[in-house]
Each structure stands twice: as C-alpha cells, then as structure tokens.
Chain A
Amino acid sequence: MSPELVIRNAHVLDPSIGLDRVTDVRLTDGRVAEIGDGLRGTRELDADGLHLFPGFVDVHAHWRTPGREDEETIASGSAAAAAGGFTGVVMMPNTDPVVDKPVIVSGLVRRIEQESRVRAYVSAALHAGLEGKRLTEMRLLKEAGAFCVSDDGLGTASAGVLRNGMLYARSAELPVILHCEDHTLATGVVHDGVAAALAGIPGSPASAEDAATATALILAAETGAKVHITHVSTALSAALVAFFKSWADVTGDTTPHHLTLTDDLVGTLEGMYRVNPPLRPDDDRRGVGDALRDGVLDFVATDHAPHASEEKELPLEEAAPGFLGHETAFAALYSELVLGGVMPLSRLVEAMACAPGRWMGEGAGTLAAGAPADLTLVDLSEEWTVGRENLFSQSANSPYTGRRLTGRVVGTIVGGELIHDRTGARFGVRA
C-alpha cells in the first residue's frame, strides 16, 4: 500500500466531476480519498502553479514487445507513457509473434506487472496472425488477461470475417478496436493529395479509410459489438462515426499528429513523416479537430509507434510508417488546439483522460472519491524543444523533433505513487 500523499495548491481540472479550481487532493491507499481546501498530510507535494488532471489514458500504443525490444520495451514504453502523463495504456497486438494466443497474453500480463511503470492492458489480435482468416480464441484470451481485441496495423480485409469477429467478440464480452483501411484502395504510402502529386510519391486516397470505416460501422450496428474506431484521420470518417453513434455502440479516436500535422510534410520527402493512416490535408486536420472538440470523436489516442532509425531514415516509399506519440501528445495538443483556440483546456483533458478512462472502465479518467489515484501534474507555462535527449522512448522517431512546444508534464502518479517526477525541474533538478 502506498502511503498517503497530499497534493497542495494545484489547479485541479477534472471535467468528469466538474472541478476547475485551485485546491488540495488527498490520496490514500492508492485511491483518491478527498478533494478540498486546506488539506494537510504527513507527505505533501506543493503543486503551486501546476495543473492537476486525472491521469491520461492511451488506448493505442505499440511497445514492440515481444519481438522488437530494440525499438521499445515494456520498461521504456511505460517510461515514455509516464513522461507524457499517461497512467493507463493499451498495448496493440501486431508484435512478433502476434498476440493471438492465451499463453502470449498471460506472459505479457506477467511482464507488465514486473516491468511497467503505468497500468498497461493487453489487446489481443482479432484474428490469428492478424491474417484475417481464423478467429482468435477470444474467450480463452480474455481468461488469460486480454482487455480487448484489435486488428490494428493491418485491418480486416474481409467484411465477412470482420462481422464474425465482432459477433464472437460480443460473445467473449471483449471490446473491439478497429484499424479501418481498405487495402485495395490503400496502394500508396502517403495521402493522395497535392503534396503527393507534386512530389511524385504514390498516394492512397482518403476513401481507403472512409470505405473501411463505413463497413466497420455498419457491421457494428448490426452485430451490437462494442466497437472503437481508432486513428480517424479524415473529416468524412469522423462524420460517419457521428452518424453511427445512434445506430451502434461505437466510439472513435484521433491522434495528436492528425490533429496537428498535415501532408505538407510529404514535401520534405523524409521517411520520418510516413505514418498510417497518412497525414492529411489541412481541411481534414481541422475536420477531425472540430469532431474532437464536439465529442463526435470521443478521445485522443497516440498510436505511439517506435521505429529504429534504419527503418525511418529512408526514402518515404521505403520507410516504416509510424510516430512516437506518448511524450509529446499533451504538449502538441495544448500548443496547437488550446492555445490555438480550437478547444478549451477542459475538453482536451476530457479527451485525454475522462473519455478514454470511461471507455476503459476500471474507474480510470476521474478524480471522483474512491477512484484509483492516477493523476497527471502539468506545467502549462513550460516551453521545451522536442529532442532525443529528453525522450524516454528507446526510439527517436518523433515528428515534432526540433519543435518548440508549450506545456509539459512534470509529474505522473499511478496508484498514489509518483512514477514520473520532474517536480524538481523548477529548482534546477534534472529528472
């Protein structure tokens, strides 16, 4: 049991309980005990000038374990998550081997207990080998500790297989996270826009995502499965998710990079900027931003996807798709969306903590009394430059490298314990 901790004088912002003021929070036995003015305790943290939010939750991360521990491990991935203020993370199954057997899930669960700084959850594969042919043993996977199932990384080519997968997942009582991509349309490596046309890089049309999203949503409506559409990157797909909210048990997320970057970066011809779904034109970027602001897209997920430098320092057509996400998510979104006037801070906190926490269940994403003591302390005034030297990830493929961002996580608390601590930075103490 963690000892009591009282965080004093923080600006506590938690839309889930309607709190937005400077006050004190008492954490006892790994849970939120009380919030109120003038609290004192044997162990205190002075958070004067800092903001305190419910811990961020990221339902989409690739910690490359098992198989590519040179790119990320549970230890390094969870350190990166903690540095980004994330207290709960879902690990995607497209590893090597694919997380498609109960023994792999139980092995990961055991390693998470030993190696992860944050609460990590395992997503198993929706189909064996992510090959879209055989369903996985979802009921046994759930018994082994799987939190959900997903086809992330590849998607599901056959609508028939996807429909059966949703039905079976419903029988297994597992949520489904879907990567919507039609490979008969997605034949390029970047968005099929002006930048691709000028650069001569093969493009994939937005319909590759939109058609697959529509199919998934229709099947979600028919099967009644709990379906989450991840990394929505087009305005049309966001509109489809909005339309289906009244037809299906469906939620959607979009990523920090689709909210802040555009396919203008294709013009650099740098492999760094290859990602899937690809960076879109500014109309889509603004479209998904508006959808996130309005709650049409329920929350943010980072799609944290570490890659070794030899997989990224290549021509765009040869580079591996994916960006680091955990450590820059809040700062990028605060700088671009909140300071840029797209949405208030409270909505960003809701989209990074409360809404994904609600989706996860387990009392995540709220500071309601009795909830797990998972919190994020942020200094909204700190400006910092993204660079390999201040990232905890084992990889360096951040698209924000060299950019100056505003707002930085200074402390992350999981179960009442400060598991990421930069609170001394104000006094010149390095984390």
Chain B
Amino acid sequence: MRSRDFLTIEGASREELREVISLARAHADGRLSRPLDGKTVCLAFFESSTRTAVSFELAARRCGADVISLSEKGSSISKGESLIDTVVTLDRLGADALVLRHPSAGASALAARYTDAAVINAGDGCGQHPTQALLDLYALSEAVGGFDELEGRRVAISGDILHSRVARSVIPAFRAAGMEVAIVAPLTLLPQETGAWNVPILDSVDEALEWGAETLYLLRLQNERMNGSSPRVPSVGEYARFYGVARRHLRDGLLVMHPGPVNRGVEIAGDVVLDGASLVPDQVAAGISVRSAVLTLATGAAHEVAA
C-alpha cells in the first residue's frame, strides 16, 4: 500500500478534507484501536515547536506507533547534516511516516523526493502548515454542527498574512470547505500581489464584521515586525486597535480562532482569549485527533483498518 504525503492544503478537495475530518472524529470517539501498531513515525524538527511537536508525538503514541524524535538540538541536524541526508537516514532506519518541521518553504516537498515514507509537513517556513488548517476545520466544524455547516459561512483572517504559513494553509482549506474568506491586514503584511488569493482585503476587524464575518481568525504578530530593518507595524496599540479582536467586537454567533501561541492584548484582548466565543482551546484539543487521522491516512493504516 503506497503511503500518502501531506505536503500542502493547496489543491485539496472538499471530499479529501471531509475524509480527514470524519476520521479525526472516529479517533476522538475512540473507535480505532492502535491503528499504527508496528509502524514507525519519525519526527524531525529543524525548527523549534511546542504544540505541534507534542501533539504529533502524542497522536503517534496513542495510535500505537514507535516514535523517533529528532530535534535541532542534540542531533546530527545541529552538526550541519543536510536535510536530504537526514531524510535518507531516517528512511533507511525504516520510517513509515516522517513528520517534518523546517524553516524553509518547500523543505517537505524536497524531503518527499528522497524517501518512500509518507512525509507530513508540520510547517515549512512561510509555506504551508496543513495539519493546522485541518485541525482548524475540525474545531470549527464541531462548533457549528458539522463539516457541511461550514458551507457559505464567512471567515476573516487578520494579521501577518505575508509571513504566515498558517494563512497559506487555512485560506485554501476554508475555501475548499465552501467558506467565504476575507483578509484583514495593512499592505505591509500582505504580499506585493495582494490579489494572489483573489479574496477581499479589508482595513480592520470592524470592517470585517460589517462584511459579515462570522468567524475571526487572528494570526500571531511577531515582535520583529515593529523593529529591525523592515518595520511593518508601528505599535501594539495601533495593531490591536485595527487588526486585533476586542470584547467590543463580540456578538452572538461570532467565533474567534487563533493558531497559537496568542499574544494577549495584541491579536486578541486578554478578556477574549478564553471567552465562550473563543475556539482557541478547542483548536489545541483538535490537534491530537486530527494528527492521528493524518498519520493513519498517511501510512495507509486507515485502509487496513477499514478492510
């Protein structure tokens, strides 16, 4: 059975997304028992990560896989071994799935050319972070009453689109699920070609609500966007005022999402992060079921279970 890579959300169909979401639901309900028994999952993190690494590792272990974890520190990665050589080594050690986090876009696709193991992109530079988008779809589906309820709903994504692999994943994911997407950002946090996704560009969260956003998806603002050689945002105060969500924005039915970690008082006001409108804890919780589903699909174990 050939393994299946998860490199990008770009190009994923509604049916493919539904398959992952329903399998994640099955994992959450405990309907699958150790589907990865006898499989080896390698986690290779060339860039630091907390929640993604932990949630992949938990998912793999709960599914019964043997887990090998390589991080930048204390491995041959820190000795300067190239990406390709690390991938080939893990391949020859018998990995069935390779979960890869890397600071450069395209690293996962490159890795996939050097191994028969399923490559799962756990975030590559400003490129893609497909499992984040899948867990977001899962958490949102649960909140609105099912995957099919996403159809026609409006989501506004606010913040640093330019440097965000999350944005590059959730935009196609939300659209494939039938949602209408708008972007909220100053031009300094957008690509030169602002029409790249062909979605409306709005000036503020207030404007997003006028547009009819039912979900606000906030992105993390990196501190270095305010300083350094390429300042793009003037201040926390101005950013929070126009591109962040505050209590005054909350209204019936409005949902607030964020991939974490949240800058309280920047993207989301401190009194909103854990408000009832916030899906942030649900997003984290969705990580394990969704990544279990992805690992099961990637290694072909889902088919074996179904058979």
CB distance B227 to A171 under 8 Å? no
Residues of A within 8 A of B186 (CB): 167-168, 171-172
CB distance B241 to A140 under 8 Å? yes
CB distance A140 to B237 under 8 Å? yes
- B interface, CB within 8 angstroms of A: 186-188, 192, 203, 226-227, 229-235, 237-238, 241-242
9 extra A-B contacts, CB within 8 A, seeds A135-B188, A135-B231, A171-B188? A135-B233, A135-B234, A139-B238, A139-B241, A140-B237, A140-B241, A161-B230, A164-B231, A222-B192
CB distance A164 to B230 under 8 Å? yes
A336 within 8 A of B: no
In the complex, which residues 166-206 of chain A have their Cβ closer than 8 Å to any Cβ of chain B? Answer: 167-168, 170-172
How far does the Cβ of B108 sit from chain A's closest Cβ, in whole Å? 30
Interface of B is mostly: loop
Residues of A within 8 A of B231 (CB): 127, 133-135, 161, 164
Q: In whole angstroms, how far apart are the Cα atoms of A134 and B226 in the complex? A: 6
How far does the Cβ of B233 sit from chain A's closest Cβ, in whole Å? 7
Interface centre among B230, B233, B237, B238 (most CB of A within 10 A): B238
B188 CB contact (under 8 Å) in A128, A133, A136, A164: A164
A137-174 interface code vs B (CB 8 A; 1 in, 0 out) = 11110000000000000000010110010011011100
Residues of A within 8 A of B230 (CB): 160-161, 164
Q: In whole angstroms, how far apart are the Cα atoms of A158 and B192 in the complex? A: 19
Knowing A168-B188, A171-B203, A223-B187 are in contact, say whether A136-B234 is a contact too (CB < 8 A).
yes
Q: List 29 A-B contacts (CB under 8 A).
A: A127-B231, A128-B234, A134-B231, A134-B234, A134-B235, A135-B233, A136-B234, A137-B237, A137-B238, A138-B234, A138-B238, A139-B241, A140-B238, A158-B229, A160-B229, A161-B231, A164-B188, A164-B230, A164-B232, A167-B186, A167-B187, A167-B188, A168-B186, A168-B187, A168-B232, A168-B234, A171-B186, A171-B203, A222-B192
How far does the Cβ of A144 sit from chain B's closest Cβ, in whole Å? 12
Smallest CB gap from B187: residue in A: A167
How far does the Cβ of B13 sit from chain A's closest Cβ, in whole Å? 35
Closest A-B pairs by Cβ, 6 of them: A167-B187, A171-B186, A137-B238, A135-B234, A137-B234, A167-B188
* Pair count A-B, CB < 8 A: 53
Smallest CB gap from A161: residue in B: B231
Residues of B within 8 A of A161 (CB): 229-231
Residues of B within 8 A of A137 (CB): 234-235, 237-238
Residues of A within 8 A of B188 (CB): 135, 164, 167-168, 171
In the complex, which residues 121-139 of chain A have their Cβ closer than 8 Å to any Cβ of chain B? Answer: 127-128, 133-139
Q: In whole angstroms, how far apart are the Cα atoms of A139 and B184 in the complex? A: 14
Smallest CB gap from B232: residue in A: A164
Q: In whole angstroms, how far apart are the Cα atoms of A160 and B230 in the complex? A: 6
How far does the Cβ of B193 sit from chain A's closest Cβ, in whole Å? 11
Q: In whole angstroms, how far apart are the Cα atoms of A239 and B230 in the complex? A: 30
Q: In whole angstroms, how far apart are the Cα atoms of A167 and B193 in the complex? A: 12
B187 CB contact (under 8 Å) in A128, A158, A160, A171: A171
Residues of B within 8 A of A222 (CB): 192
Residues of B within 8 A of A140 (CB): 237-238, 241
Q: In whole angstroms, how far apart are the Cα atoms of A164 and B234 in the complex? A: 11
Residues of A within 8 A of B235 (CB): 134, 137
Q: In whole angstroms, how far apart are the Cα atoms of A139 and B240 in the complex? A: 12
A219-230 interface code vs B (CB 8 A; 1 in, 0 out) = 000110000000
Residues of B within 8 A of A160 (CB): 229-230
Residues of A within 8 A of B241 (CB): 139-140
Q: In whole angstroms, how far apart are the Cα atoms of A136 and B237 in the complex? A: 11
Q: In whole angstroms, how far apart are the Cα atoms of A407 and B241 in the complex? A: 52
Residues of B within 8 A of A134 (CB): 226-227, 231, 234-235
How far does the Cβ of B90 sit from chain A's closest Cβ, in whole Å? 39
Q: In whole angstroms, how far apart are the Cα atoms of A168 and B162 in the complex? A: 14
Residues of B within 8 A of A172 (CB): 186
Smallest CB gap from B204: residue in A: A139
Q: In whole angstroms, how far apart are the Cα atoms of A134 and B228 in the complex? A: 8
Smallest CB gap from B190: residue in A: A167
Interface centre among B188, B192, B230, B237 (most CB of A within 10 A): B188
How far does the Cβ of A249 sit from chain B's closest Cβ, in whole Å? 14
Residues of B within 8 A of A128 (CB): 234
Q: In whole angstroms, how far apart are the Cα atoms of A223 and B242 in the complex? A: 21
Q: In whole angstroms, how far apart are the Cα atoms of A11 and B99 in the complex? A: 82
How far does the Cβ of B182 sit from chain A's closest Cβ, in whole Å? 15
Residues of A within 8 A of B227 (CB): 133-134
In the complex, which residues 398-419 of chain A have their Cβ closer than 8 Å to any Cβ of chain B? Answer: none
How far does the Cβ of A145 sit from chain B's closest Cβ, in whole Å? 16
